[in-house]
Amino acid sequence: MKRVSFHTLGCKLNFAETSTFKRQFVDLGYSFVDFSTPADVVLINTCSVTENADKDARKAVRRALKLSPDARVIVVGCYAQLRPEEVASIPGVYLVLGNEEKFHISDYLHRESDADDVRIAVGDIAETTDFGVAFSAEHSGRTRAFLKVQDGCDYNCTYCTIPMARGRSRSESIERTIEHSSHILSQGFREIVLSGVNVGDYGAGQSATLYELLVRLLDLPGDFRIRVSSIEPNLLDDDIIALAASTERLCSHFHIPLQSGSDVVLRRMRRRYNTAMYAERIEAVLAAMPNAGIGVDVIVGTPGETAEQFRESYEYLVNLPCSYLHVFNYSDRPGTIAANMVEKVPHAERAERSAMLRMLDRRKRRTFMEQQIGRVLKVLFEEERNGTVSGFSENYSRVVVLPQTGLSNAILPVSVTEMRSNTLFGSLVERPTASSGNMGLPVLT
């Protein structure tokens, strides 16, 4: 039996799509091996959000060929879509597929060609209407699944290549999404994370909305919960907030991209909100769910960002009641408007600003975790290791308790008692009983 290995770079959406590729290779009669093991075919699913992401993709190709010199290396994903000729020039690459063609691997894999003929199949992503259903498991124990519900983006932020890499915003229908979700739940998963490039734009062009999808998903039978992976502040409306506040099935956790706390920089980025509107959305979430977890994306060093504008952004973030920051150094991306801007921030200055924000992130995480002490959180247990069992709460806090048999994949209330080494510890409020159902465990209602 032929062997195939996979290596995925970038976002959770890529991981979900790699799971689809795996199922395709099963249908082709392949067996899976780890990326560190020799294989007949190696598929590398790439990201291209930064220059380092491109470098990581090239390193992955070299590593694959070192382990498997005769392997057919297939490169797919955003790097392949944006710079196919560059990818094809990497010695040893056998096939380069764009973000529409990658869902039809079997159509390209076994076509006859010369051994040295690198084949490129990359179409105009702007014309695609293909969606490509995908979901992936976060853990082998079937606890949390990432379900792709949306792809592409109609925004035109000056620093971003995603519209060029993934095309226009498009979604799966509500009915089909319900079918996929029902299938995931039937396999025993307890949490579905709705994933996409711009999840809040779900239903664009279909007369559907993310709110309507959430209402339908929450009506499905079973003991589970739904989490939204990321949502733009201008798309996080009051209906979604109220819905999350009304039920434990919709996690009180929102990852909301900000990118800058300076209105001047936001306008230069062509973002669709200002700092006042962003703060109002955060306040609305916390008014409805005071213990909600709120994550924030920030980019430092975009072209033209002055020291004063960065300081303004920093002070804004200091006062923003969020739980954590994801900090990114700006990276020129070919084809973007920002790449042609001449007022570049020196790399050393970007690094210094990034370090300041990462220190602020550590303070915010610690403050948020300290606020959890004495609270009861609903934790989806996922992993047993070194005498403990851990998982994530509804507000995305990682919680550890002493293990008990059969806790994996159970959602149980935990009383948080302390924080050690940036991790929360607690004890079960309810003890598992043999008559509780769900493998002898109390379940979320």
CA-to-CA distance for 438 and 417, rounded, in angstroms? 26
pLDDT at 438 over 50: no
- pLDDT value at 105 more than 60: yes
Is the pLDDT at 431 greater than 80? The verdict is no
CATH number of the structural domain spanning residue 286: 3.30.750.200
Identify the DSSP state of 429.
S
Q: Is residue 437 part of a domain?
A: no
Taking the CB of residue 18, how many other CB atoms lie within 10 A of it? Answer: 21
Into how many domains does the chain fold?
4
Q: What is the mean pLDDT of residues 402-427?
A: 90
158, 174: one domain: yes
Interatomic CA distance for residues 1 and 19, integer angstroms:
20
Q: Mean pLDDT across the stretch 354-370?
A: 97
Q: Is residue 443's pLDDT more than 60?
A: no
Query: Are residues 90 and 35 both part of a single domain?
Result: yes
In a domain, 444, yes or no: no
User: Is 445 a member of any domain?
Assistant: no
> pLDDT band at residue 434, thresholds of 50, 70 and 90?
very low
Q: Are 72 and 147 in a shared domain?
A: no
Q: How far apart are CA 265 and CA 314, in angstroms?
A: 13
Choosing from 251, 277, 306, the residue where a domain stops is 251
- Mapped onto helix, strand or coil, the DSSP state of residue 398 is strand
115: pLDDT strictly greater than 60? no
The pLDDT value recorded for residue 98 is 93
Last residue of a domain, one of 94, 123, 152: 123
Residues 231 and 289 in one domain: no
pLDDT band at 404 (very low <50, low <70, confident <90, very high): confident
| pLDDT (mean) for 212-233 | 96
Residue 444: what pLDDT?
A: 34
In this structure, are residues 293 and 252 in contact, taking their beta carbons and an 8 Å threshold?
Answer: yes
pLDDT at 204 over 90: no
Answer yes or no: is 435 within a domain. Answer: no
Own/partner long-range contacts of 102-111 (Cβ < 8 Å, ≥24 apart) = 102/17, 102/21, 102/45, 102/76, 102/77, 102/132, 103/20, 103/130, 103/132, 105/21, 105/24, 105/25, 105/43, 105/74, 105/76, 106/24, 106/27, 106/28, 109/28, 109/41, 109/72, 109/74
Which CATH number belongs to the domain containing residue 212 in this structure? 3.30.750.210
Residue 119 in this model has a pLDDT that exceeds 70: yes
Lowest mean pLDDT among 47-51, 282-286, 317-321, 369-373: 47-51
353 versus 386: the higher-pLDDT residue is: 353
- 125-154 pLDDT, tens digit per residue, is 887 777 777 777 655 567 999 999 999 999
The answer on 271 and 230 residing in a single domain is no
Q: For residue 115, give the CATH number of its domain.
A: 3.40.50.12160
Residue 440, pLDDT score: 35
Token pair of 253 as six digits? 């956790």
pTM: 0.89
In this structure, are 112 and 47 located in the same domain? yes
pLDDT exceeds cutoff 50 at 357? yes
What range defines the domain where residue 386 resides? 376-428
Q: What is the pLDDT of residue 112?
A: 56
Q: What SS3 state is found at 91?
A: coil
Res 410: pLDDT: 92
- Same structural domain for residues 241 and 137? yes
Q: Is 392 among the domain residues?
A: yes
The mean per-residue pLDDT over the stretch 210-227 comes to 97
Q: Per the domain annotation, does 443 fall within a domain? A: no
Place 69 in a pLDDT band, splitting at 50, 70 and 90.
very high
Q: Does a structural domain hold residue 271? A: yes
pLDDT at site 436? 38
Q: Are residues 7 and 80 located together in one domain of the fold?
A: yes
Q: What percent of the chain has pLDDT over 70?
A: 94
Verify that 241 and 278 share a domain, yes or no: no
Residue 257, in any domain of the structure: no
One domain, residues 133 and 157: yes
- CATH number, domain of 394, equals 2.40.50
Q: Are residues 356 and 391 in the same domain?
A: no
Distance CA 138, CA 161 (A): 26
End position of a domain, from candidates 70, 103, 123 = 123
Position 378 pLDDT exceeds 70: yes
Q: How many residues does the chain have?
A: 445
Q: Over 70: is that where the pLDDT of 187 sits?
A: yes
pLDDT at 398 over 80: yes
Please give the mean pLDDT across all residues of the chain. Answer: 91
CA–CA distance, 94 with 293 (Å, rounded to integer): 44
- 38 shares its domain with 112: yes
pLDDT at 11: 87
